[in-house]
Structure 1
Amino acid sequence: MPLAVYILGLGIFTQGTSEFMLSGLLPNMADDLGVSIPDAGLLISAFAIGMVVGAPLLAVATLSWPRRTALVALQAVFIAAHVVGALAPGYGVLFATRIVSALAYAGFWGVAVATAVSMVPLSAKGKAVAIVASGLTLATIVGVPAGTVLSQFAGWRAAFWAVAVLTLASLLCSVFAIPGGKSATEETRTVKAELRAMARPQLWLSYAVTAFAFGAVIVTFSYLASVLTDVTGLSEGWVPAILALFGVGGLIGMTIGGRVAESHPIRTLALGLGGLIVASVVLALTAQNVVVTVLAVFVLGLTGYVTNPILQSRVFTVAPGAPTLVGATNTSAFNVGNTLAPLLGGLAISADWGYESVAWVGAALGVLGLLGTLWAGTLQRRTENTTAAAPELRQELAGADA
């Protein structure tokens, strides 16, 4: 696997830490900014909204750029937004910087995945995507807990400064590791050609499954710190460790998903979503029990992320003619779930249903994702049967003509 693929994963790790670290910072941020926990949770939705808009927008804007240039420029904007965020005097400015950061991060995601896929043969595309996406899982294992600990000792702004410094290191690595210039295939990429290649119903069904599947896990994760302290009764000191446990489960799930992404995509999606639904229901019913909650958090990470490599790589298989826009739009789909799920979770909390109610929201979204997966499997079997029958049909028609 080229070194550049791992460097792209590093870029996702540094920026992905910012995407998810707010789950451990929400209580401190809410107190410092003078807002409620649900309002602080909207900062997560703000980031997700920026990614929904930014992924296709930045993919189109940078389509004619050399990929290294695009990757470096997007990371530079991300760093600048985090510096402003760390200095933000209030909620409004911070909200705006979250959107700008997300725009840049979304563009980076789309270009990074397209770059990784372009550097490996067809048989290794799923593994390359899994390596890039594993940066996000490592962010939940290392980055998010570290940011939580740092915020507990030095305030949430210190976590923002740390992300800016780490992303600068990633930018410098990108300059040296990512090939410069354009390849012959990059020269032929146009927005019109990629849009034409995306006109496939199965592709858009995959996007819907992506949104539901990711929303199902992120809604619980977003408010996990509050669930652990207010419902389970754990002290704040335990929160980083349990967030890390979630990440360990996610890394295991990501590893499994990366190995089966090409061979058993639909089956893995169905099993992963089924397990996610069960883990969410168990957590909702037993959040007061420390042991069961800790186990449920681990399973939530495993089942939530075993689907990730399939969700990331499958769209390139369905629409291979749109290597940049198909991945960028999939990033938007992830963040449709990342936008709506915390919002729905916040509404459930605001309705006085308790913090554990976010797990019920996750279970419901998981059911929708599972139904979409079963539908996608049915469509795939129909396509395979039609393709297999085509040669026989041609032979019958040739015999009739004779």
Structure 2
Amino acid sequence: MPALLRLLAVAVFAQGTSEFVLAGLLPGIATDLGVPLARAGLLTSGFALGMVLGAPVMAAAARRLAPRWALSGFLAVFIAAHVLGAGTGSFALLLTSRVVAAAANAGFLAVTLSTVTRVVPAGRRTRALAVVLGGTTLALVAGVPAGALVGDLLGWRATLGAIALLCLPPLVAVLVAAPARPAADAGTGAAGTIGRELASLRARPVRLDLALTALVNGATFGSFTYLAAVAAGPAGLTGGALPALLAVFGVGALLGVTLAGRIGDRHGRRLITVTGPALVAGWALLTWAADAPVALWVLTPVQGALSFALGSTLVARVVATADAPTMGGSFATAALNVGAVVGPVGAGPALDAVGAGGPFAVSAALVLAAVGLWGVVTVRARRASRAARADRQPGGPAGDRR
């Protein structure tokens, strides 16, 4: 793997940490800035909204730029937003900085996903994407706990400053090693106009993969968002067991992304076919065993591995099948974040209405819908393939015409 990809993964790690760590910093922010905790919670909603809207808008704005300048520009804005946020005493300005940082994050990830297809051979793209997306899983394992620890010891401003510093080495790497020609000039696909790229994203296989990505990620973050609340409530976990459980989920996620990277290029369809039903079964089991600590400890890493193996494979399919070298990554990013917004929105009321198993039940339903969509499309594809083979046989319709 090129060294550039690993440094891009460092940037994704820092950005993922920024996205997830704020939940643990909200009490300190609310106290420091003199706002209610519920209002401070708008910082996480603002970041999610910036990610969803920012991915296609930023990618479209940067599509005529070389990846070197697009990536470095997005990273520079992301760093500046964190420096501004760390130094402000205004909640409104902090919220604005979070939305701007999220939009830059979304643009950076979208261009990164598209750039991967240019710097590695076609047969290694899933593995390369796994390296980059591994930054997100490492953020769950190490970045969020470390950021929370820094926040506890030095304050939330220090956490934002550390995230900005972590992005400096990737910024240098991008300026030195990222492609210096725009994708539209690189001879890849139908990059002539944005209309042609958007038309390719409306193709049925691409729309399917985008829908599956949103459903699976919605299930993942619907349960992950409330995992600590469930564990601390009915399951009775306390103290250091709660961050440890979240870290175990992250370890499983990292293993899942690694597995998908190893086999996704050759066995992507089979991986989707196997992991989808297994993921449904795991969420269903947790629905009925959410109050059992043993079940949480056993199934949490398994679900993390299955979720991210399936999710990263679907992202790779979007980038590979869409004839959209500058916009494909943006819509994959948007689909991921639509899921990250919708999943918790559905899981929260389920927790209140059903109890500890509610979020897991919502996750099971979302993945079940994804499995159903995949199954219908697979069956139709097999029928079409059999019909085509029969048509080519002697005595078939094509043979009769000959």
Aligned residue for 1:262, secondary structure, equals: helix
Q: Which residue in 1 is equivalent to 2:130?
A: 130
Distance across 1 between alignment mates of 2:230 and 2:157: 23
Distance across 2 between alignment mates of 1:88 and 1:394: 78
- Contact 1:45 1:340 (C-alpha < 8 Å) held by counterparts: no
Q: Which residue in 1 is equivalent to 2:7?
A: 7
**Superposition deviation, residue 389 in structure 1:** 6.0
**Larger displacement relative to structure 2 (259-268 or 74-83):** 259-268
**Are the structure 2 counterparts of residues 396 and 287 from structure 1 closer, same or farther at C-alpha, using a change threshold of 3 Å?**
closer
**Are the structure 2 counterparts of residues 213 and 61 from structure 1 closer, same or farther at C-alpha, using a change threshold of 3 Å?**
same
Q: Which residue in 1 is equivalent to 2:270?
A: 267
Distance across 1 between alignment mates of 2:302 and 2:40: 26
**Larger displacement relative to structure 2 (11-20 or 147-156):** 147-156
**Are the structure 2 counterparts of residues 261 and 394 from structure 1 closer, same or farther at C-alpha, using a change threshold of 3 Å?**
farther
**Counterparts of 1:141-180 in structure 2 under 5 Å?**
141-180=141-180
After superposition, give the CA deviation of every residue in 1:181-203 in whole Å (9 maximum; x if it has no partner): 44741695431331232231121
- Contact 1:257 1:309 (C-alpha < 8 Å) held by counterparts: yes
After superposition, give the CA deviation of every residue in 1:178-230 in whole Å (9 maximum; x if it has no partner): 23344741695431331232231121111111100001011121233333334
Q: Which residue in 1 is equivalent to 2:339?
A: 337
**Are the structure 2 counterparts of residues 334 and 397 from structure 1 closer, same or farther at C-alpha, using a change threshold of 3 Å?**
same
Unmatched segments (≥5 aa) in structure 2: none
**Larger displacement relative to structure 2 (51-60 or 289-298):** 289-298
**Larger displacement relative to structure 2 (81-90 or 44-53):** 81-90
- Contact 1:253 1:306 (C-alpha < 8 Å) held by counterparts: yes
- Contact 1:144 1:243 (C-alpha < 8 Å) held by counterparts: no
Q: Which residue in 2 is equivalent to 1:59?
A: 59
**Counterparts of 1:251-400 in structure 2 under 5 Å?**
251-319=254-322, 321-349=323-351, 351=352, 353-354=354-355, 356-382=357-383, 384-385=385-386, 397=398, 400=401
Aligned residue for 2:37, secondary structure, equals: coil
Structure 1 residue identity aligned to 2:58: L
Unmatched segments (≥5 aa) in structure 1: none
- Contact 1:24 1:239 (C-alpha < 8 Å) held by counterparts: no
**Superposition deviation, residue 384 in structure 1:** 4.3
After superposition, give the CA deviation of every residue in 1:73-94 in whole Å (9 maximum; x if it has no partner): 0011112222333345465544
TM-score by length of 1: 0.88
Aligned length: 397
**Larger displacement relative to structure 2 (160-169 or 59-68):** 160-169
**Larger displacement relative to structure 2 (25-34 or 203-212):** 25-34
**Are the structure 2 counterparts of residues 352 and 358 from structure 1 closer, same or farther at C-alpha, using a change threshold of 3 Å?**
same
TM-score by length of 2: 0.88
**Are the structure 2 counterparts of residues 280 and 23 from structure 1 closer, same or farther at C-alpha, using a change threshold of 3 Å?**
farther
**Are the structure 2 counterparts of residues 44 and 227 from structure 1 closer, same or farther at C-alpha, using a change threshold of 3 Å?**
farther
Structure 2 residue identity aligned to 1:107: G
**Larger displacement relative to structure 2 (132-141 or 64-73):** 132-141
After superposition, give the CA deviation of every residue in 1:143-201 in whole Å (9 maximum; x if it has no partner): 12212322333343432222122123321222223233447416954313312322311
- Contact 1:147 1:159 (C-alpha < 8 Å) held by counterparts: yes
Structure 1 residue identity aligned to 2:276: L
Aligned residue for 2:266, secondary structure, equals: coil
Distance across 2 between alignment mates of 1:117 and 1:107: 16
Q: Which residue in 2 is equivalent to 1:200?
A: 203
**Larger displacement relative to structure 2 (24-33 or 91-100):** 24-33
Structure 1 residue identity aligned to 2:254: L
Distance across 1 between alignment mates of 2:383 and 2:132: 32
Distance across 2 between alignment mates of 1:383 and 1:31: 62
- Contact 1:41 1:222 (C-alpha < 8 Å) held by counterparts: no
**Superposition deviation, residue 310 in structure 1:** 1.2
Q: Which residue in 2 is equivalent to 1:80?
A: 80
**Superposition deviation, residue 400 in structure 1:** 3.2
**Superposition deviation, residue 114 in structure 1:** 0.9
